[in-house]
């Protein structure tokens, strides 16, 4: 029987994949989004900052900040879940730069005002084909049962790596 | 002169929204139930580092702000609105280095809801970068 890999090797590989997907995108840094990882489960976190406000009177998060957060959460989950099996099997990241999927359309449903607090989002890939994928994403703040926004998007997958 | 004053006030209002300001948005033109906003190219908004193309999320924020501004410019609207839903179709990547403009228009307004359409373009105004349709709240007591 094959010996299990040391946990630090596994963590390093998985964190490496996540970092490769996330760190290269300036817009993710602009919004300040980070990702919590537990095994293959990702939670996108949008730490509150004043720059995200769209209605200073309430105050409430800008609908555009919420849309951007949901789109990033959906896109990263889609890439992550597509690459996961290969990276786990190979024990290494694919060669060359990783291309993110392209958004075809994105529909955001605003359920209640975004509070001036941290927000969390989890995405679910409902269908992932060779060319197209459909992803649903839900966002919450203080209360796990009360979504403040949800979205569905369609994505065009990056061309598959040509076999070496 | 009066129109220019209203435009100045509206411009200050839009540019005082922290997220719109962070994205560098400017209100360029407005009229009854429509608004035109511009967002200059900025490297910090890039979504694809290999091509330098602006992330769709920033385009969404521009469309959302333009749509909200169009609602506030409508004679039936109050001083506030909120997005109920917004759908964006991304038709092509915006050309890196170019300002993106979004023109939004209320195409139907009821006592409680404004239905808005928006088109985003770069320098090649004949080929839209993205289109959006949305529903926005009309605050009660506005009339």
Residue B141 touches chain A, beta carbons under 8 Å = no
Taking the complete model, does pTM exceed 0.90, yes or no? yes
Does residue A55 form part of some domain?
A: yes
| B10 vs A: CB within 8 A | no
Examine residue A162 and state whether it is found in any structural domain, yes or no. no
CA-based nearest residue to A83, from A164, A158, A6, A5: A158
- Report yes or no on A145 lying in a domain: yes
Residue A104: domain span: 7-156
Is residue A163, in this structure, part of any structural domain at all? no
Burial-class residue A4 by CB neighbours within 10 Å (0-12, 13-18, 19+): exposed
Q: Kindly state whether residue A2 falls inside one of the protein's structural domains.
A: no
- Predicted confidence at residue A108, as pLDDT, reads 98
Q: Please report residues of A whose CB lies closer than 8 A to that of B55.
A: 25, 27, 68, 71-72
Examine the pLDDT at B91 and tell me if it is beyond 90: yes
For residue B4, is pLDDT > 70?
Answer: no
CATH number assigned to the domain comprising residue A132: 3.10.129.10
- State the total domains in chain A: 1
- The CA distance from B31 to the nearest CA of chain A, in Å, is 22
CB-based contact B61 A106, cutoff 8 Å: no
Highest mean pLDDT among A5-9, B6-10, B36-40: B36-40
Query: Got the DSSP string for B17-48?
Result: SHHHHHTT-EEEEEETTEEEEEE---GGGEEE
A62/B63 CB distance under 8 A: no
Which parts of chain A have pLDDT scores under 70? 1, 161-164
Which residue ranges form the domains of chain B, and what is each CATH number? 2-137 (3.10.129.10)
**Complex ipTM value:** 0.93
Residues of B in contact with A56 (CB under 8 A): 16-18
Does residue A164 lie in a domain region? no
Calculate how close chain A gets to B124, using CA atoms only, in Å: 20
Whether residue A133 is contained in a domain is answered as yes
pLDDT value for A161: 60
């Amino acid at each position: 029987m094959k010996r299990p890999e040391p946990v630090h090797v596994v963590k390093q590989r998985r964190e490496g994949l996540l970092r490769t997907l996330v760190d290269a995108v300036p817009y993710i840094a602009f919004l300040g989004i980070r990702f919590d990882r537990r095994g293959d489960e990702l939670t996108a976190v949008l730490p509150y900052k004043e720059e995200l406000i769209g209605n200073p009177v309430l105050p409430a998060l800008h609908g555009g900040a919420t849309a951007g957060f949901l789109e990033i959460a959906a896109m990263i989950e889609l890439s992550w879940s597509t690459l996961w099996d290969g990276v786990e099997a190979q024990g290494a990241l694919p060669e060359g730069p990783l291309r993110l999927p392209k958004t075809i359309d994105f529909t955001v449903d605003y359920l209640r005002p975004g509070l001036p607090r941290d927000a969390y989002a989890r995405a679910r890939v409902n269908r992932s084909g060779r060319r197209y994928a459909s992803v649903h994403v839900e966002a919450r703040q203080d209360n796990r049962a009360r979504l403040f926004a949800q979205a569905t998007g369609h994505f065009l997958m990056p061309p598959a790596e040509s076999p070496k | 002169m009066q129109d220019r004053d209203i435009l100045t006030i509206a411009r200050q209002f839009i540019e005082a929204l922290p997220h719109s300001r962070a994205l560098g948005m400017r209100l360029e033109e407005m009229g009854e139930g429509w608004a035109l906003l511009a967002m200059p190219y900025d490297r910090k908004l890039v979504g694809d580092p290999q091509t330098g193309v602006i992330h769709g999320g920033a385009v969404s924020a521009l469309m959302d702000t333009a749509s909200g501004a169009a609602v506030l410019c409508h004679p039936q609207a109050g001083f506030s609105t909120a997005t109920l839903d917004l759908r964006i179709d991304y038709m092509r990547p915006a050309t890196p280095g170019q300002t993106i403009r979004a023109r939004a228009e209320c195409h139907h307004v009821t006592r409680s809801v404004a239905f808005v359409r928006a088109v985003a373009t770069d320098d090649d105004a004949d080929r839209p970068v993205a289109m959006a349709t949305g529903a926005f709240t009309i605050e009660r007591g506005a009339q």
